[in-house]
Structure 1
Amino acid sequence: MDSELKTFSVLLIFGNIENLILAAQGVAAGVNPLGLAILSLIAVVFWLSLGTFGTRIAMKYARVINFIGGLAIFILGIQAMMESVPGILAFFH
């Protein structure tokens, strides 16, 4: 792997984990799986295009991007856990 891209590897790994969590939330909420898949693919293609063409510019801001991305992943993970608490509590009653 290119040394310039190694700085984004952790964000990539945790971003993929968060994507799985958000997809699971969509399925649990009863969202149409086909629509969810299509929107997810559109988002992936958009971010891939943005990443491909914007990497040179973004390298100057790698630390800031990693922090903001990590913070967003953390906040979304906390949100996912908080939304699942009522369902967990209902399971035990």
Structure 2
Amino acid sequence: MSSDIKQFSILIVFGNIENLILAAQGVNAHVNPLGLACLSLIAVVCWFLIGTFGTKVAMKYARYINFIGGLAIFILGVQAMVESIPGMLAFFH
């Protein structure tokens, strides 16, 4: 993998994790799967555009961006797990 592409691998990983969390929350909230798929594709295109055009500007803030993105993913993951606990408890009764 060339060094030019390697620097974008973090965006690809966080973008995919974010879409998985979005899908999990959508299933938990019983939303329309087609609408959720459209929103997910829009999110992917937005990440692609941000990664393509905003990289030069954002390179000096890369550490902060990675931390804030990782923190947001962690918080959304915890939120999704906490919201699914009542449904899991109902399954065992």
TM over 0.5: yes
Taking structure 1 as the reference length, the TM-score comes to 0.83
The answer on 1:54 being equivalent to 2:54 is yes
CA distance in 2, matches of 1:2, 1:60: 21
The answer on 1:33 being equivalent to 2:41 is no
Task: Flag as ranges the 4+ runs of structure 1 deviating above 3 A.
Answer: 1-12
Paired-residue identity, %: 77
The answer to which of 60-69 and 37-46 deviates more is 37-46
User: Gapped runs of 5+ residues in structure 2?
Assistant: none
CA distance in 1, matches of 2:2, 2:64: 20
Counting only pairs closer than 5 Å after superposition, residues 1-93 of structure 1 correspond to structure 2 as 1-3=1-3, 6=6, 9-10=9-10, 12-93=12-93
Q: CA deviation at 1:49?
A: 0.8
Q: CA deviation at 1:28?
A: 3.5
Count of residue pairs brought into register by the alignment: 93
Change (3 A) 1:2 1:48: same
Taking structure 2 as the reference length, the TM-score comes to 0.83
User: Gapped runs of 5+ residues in structure 1?
Assistant: none
